[in-house]
Structure 1
Amino acid sequence: MVCFGKFRHPGRYFEKGVMDDHKLKVFCTVAETKSFSKTSEIIHLTQPAVSLQIQALEEVYETKLFDRSSSTVTLTPAGEILYRYAKEILSLYANAEKDIGELIGLVKGSISIGASSTLGNYLLPGVITDFKRAHLKIKVHLLVGNTKRVVELLNSGNIDLGLVEGDVTRQKMVVEKLIGDELLLVVPSYHPWAKKKEISISELTKEPFIIREGGSGTRQMIEKFLSKHGITPQDLKISMVLGSTEAIKEAVENGLGVSIISRWAARKELRYGSLHLLRIKEEKMFREFSLIVNKNSVSSHAVDEFLTYLKAYPFEKLLS
């Protein structure tokens, strides 16, 4: 192995003959989140490991990069300089990978995707499986979390693109509507409502109702929809509060109540006949799934290939 010494120059870091962009990604994440603990959660490293990455950079440049004296972590003047160079370097790495891939006509590399729960659990696995059949040399990493977490990951450069439900702030991102999602009432196949295609919204107050936990985007949408039609959470006979769609489906199947879920989430149960979906008579409950990318990021050849594939994907076939 050929080993090079450390070349100390703002914006360049070579060690052991390899361009090490990992430390720069960790550094940028700390700078943007202003938190070692939040960085630890986002990039799936322990907090001591994050500190070691920063310490290694501080040893290279022989100066402190962060001021840790206050309750928040802030960049020192030297840190501000490195942050500016680091963003340029990471962008250049991405450009190099893209240009070389296009030159040799080989699409390879890895893609990191962040997705909110409905998309990550029920739509993307099928899309990624189909994509991988045609692109064997591209590795796809999928991280599932709430919309806030996906936005944090995108802003810190730890994912290449995000797929989320609901509204997101557009300041640093390009937001593009991808597909629609209808939320429907779900009941067990032996429930009296299973013979119907729709019911009046007032009927919901007469049945035990299972709802997602507080803070869930789906719950917020349901409560907003019910409120629009004069129904408060207190009007419902809430029998259970559960933390996932899978848990809700299981509870509904076992006759513990009715609920409202995404039509995408019940595909398997509908196929086997264990659940039945109905619409609310008064109005459709509809939301959008959006694709988000960072305005200033440079996408790799692999990411461009996936985005093209994703935008042309026949999502409706997943419902058949």
Structure 2
Amino acid sequence: MIMISNYIYEKELLPIDHQLQVFIAVAERKNFSRAAEDLHMTQPAVSQYIRSFEESIGVRLLERTNKYVRLNRAGEIAYHHAKEIVGLYSKMHNLVDDLANKASGSLTIGASYTFGEYVLPHILSKLVAEYPSIEPSVTIGNTADIAELVISHQLDVGLIEGHFKEATPLQNENFAEDAMYVVASPIHPLVRKKGRLSIGELSNDLWLLREEGSGTREAAETFFSQSGFRPARVMQFSSTQPIKESVEAGLGISLLSQWAIQKELRHGELKTLPVKGTPFKRNFSIVTNSPFQTKALQVFIDLLKNNEDLTVLNQKNSTNMK
């Protein structure tokens, strides 16, 4: 079963970490009854686990009233490390189990928005068809958030665009190339202009950009820097879809991945502008945080590196840009 969510949460309790799992469930659900339902436990049992966990830590971790259950400062610290401990324990369990078994079990995948929304579904379809015993779960977020989840062992692997400005413990390997284009509404006055455009001709346009921490935003900033250009007006969005809708409506222009705009180009809803310096090239990277890999992770990475679908999609996109 594939689960797509904004956070990773393992419902299956592991023998050595019942207290951690129950604590995580209560912290995320903010309710003892809902946590008990998720864990297939009684509410008194959940309450007992929380009391025992707080006694073992030596401080209260949750503030409780008739209206809410929420983490206090000590609880926030405990929750952060509990997630990391559970992630490491699950990884250890899977690696040891792999020694005697074929590729199977859970695989937690993180992906930045562009790859996660427009490319990863094709890869997952093939993975599930060829390895039905692997159970992937997917978290979509910006590059910085996905990297942080891999660093804290809450994800087995991250698929991101962009670079890290600070040193991290992550292993980083490029596996696919992306091409980015300046896109505009079909009624933009420069759509029918012949020849290449200088980026200076777009100085009066409103640029619709992703948020800080996004690989797409980083690519746009690099493109501007290399072009010696700084947009006078910028509007920021937290995902790509509303940017595309806004560009189509004539609100402004943007620099977007070929993966994200192929359908709109095919239907004539967006147009690319032939701006000097485009297509702007960048790489997608695989990031991991362990020298050991489960068989499930190994086959997934091999599928990414050798998947013909990426080549086919690239060829389709290149045709659509012409």
TM-score (norm 1): 0.70
Match of 1:209 in 2: 207
The alpha carbon displacement at 1:97 in A equals 2.3
Correspondences of 1:179-258 after superposition (within 5 Å): 179-195=176-192, 198-234=196-232, 237-238=233-234, 240-258=235-253
Correspondences of 1:282-293 after superposition (within 5 Å): 282=277, 284-293=279-288
The alpha carbon displacement at 1:133 in A equals 2.0
Q: Output one character per residue of 1:277-299: Cα deviation in whole Å (capped at 9) or x when no partner.
A: 23431465332211001125x43
TM-score (norm 2): 0.70
Task: Give the letter for the 1:302 counterpart.
Answer: A
Task: Name the CA distance, whole Å, in 1 between partners of 2:75 and 2:53.
Answer: 24
Identify if the C-alpha distance between structure 1 residues 95 and 177 changes in structure 2 by more than 3 Å, giving closer, same or farther: same
- Unmatched segments (≥5 aa) in structure 2: 1-12, 36-44, 62-71, 317-322
Identity of aligned residues (%): 30
Identify if the C-alpha distance between structure 1 residues 119 and 248 changes in structure 2 by more than 3 Å, giving closer, same or farther: same
Match of 1:268 in 2: 263
Correspondences of 1:1-320 after superposition (within 5 Å): 19-21=15-17, 23=19, 45-46=28-29, 56=49, 59=52, 63-64=56-57, 90-102=90-102, 107-168=103-164, 169=166, 171-195=168-192, 198-234=196-232, 237-238=233-234, 240-282=235-277, 284-296=279-291, 298-314=292-308, 315-319=310-314, 320=316
Q: 8 Å contact 1:211–1:219 — kept in the other structure?
A: yes
Match of 1:36 in 2: none
Task: Give the letter for the 1:127 counterpart.
Answer: I
- Unmatched segments (≥5 aa) in structure 1: 1-16, 28-38
Q: Output one character per residue of 1:76-124: Cα deviation in whole Å (capped at 9) or x when no partner.
A: xxxx9x999988854541223212323xxxx322211011111111111
The alpha carbon displacement at 1:21 in A equals 4.8
Identify if the C-alpha distance between structure 1 residues 86 and 94 changes in structure 2 by more than 3 Å, giving closer, same or farther: same
**Secondary structure of the corresponding residue to residue 280 of structure 1:** coil
Identify if the C-alpha distance between structure 1 residues 200 and 268 changes in structure 2 by more than 3 Å, giving closer, same or farther: same
Task: Name the CA distance, whole Å, in 2 between partners of 1:84 and 1:65.
Answer: 20
Task: Name the CA distance, whole Å, in 1 between partners of 2:114 and 2:56.
Answer: 45
What is the root-mean-square deviation in Å for CA atoms of aligned residues? 3.9
Q: 8 Å contact 1:185–1:277 — kept in the other structure?
A: yes
Task: Name the CA distance, whole Å, in 1 between partners of 2:96 and 2:284.
Answer: 32
Moved more, 159-168 or 206-215: 206-215
Task: Give the letter for the 2:285 counterpart.
Answer: S
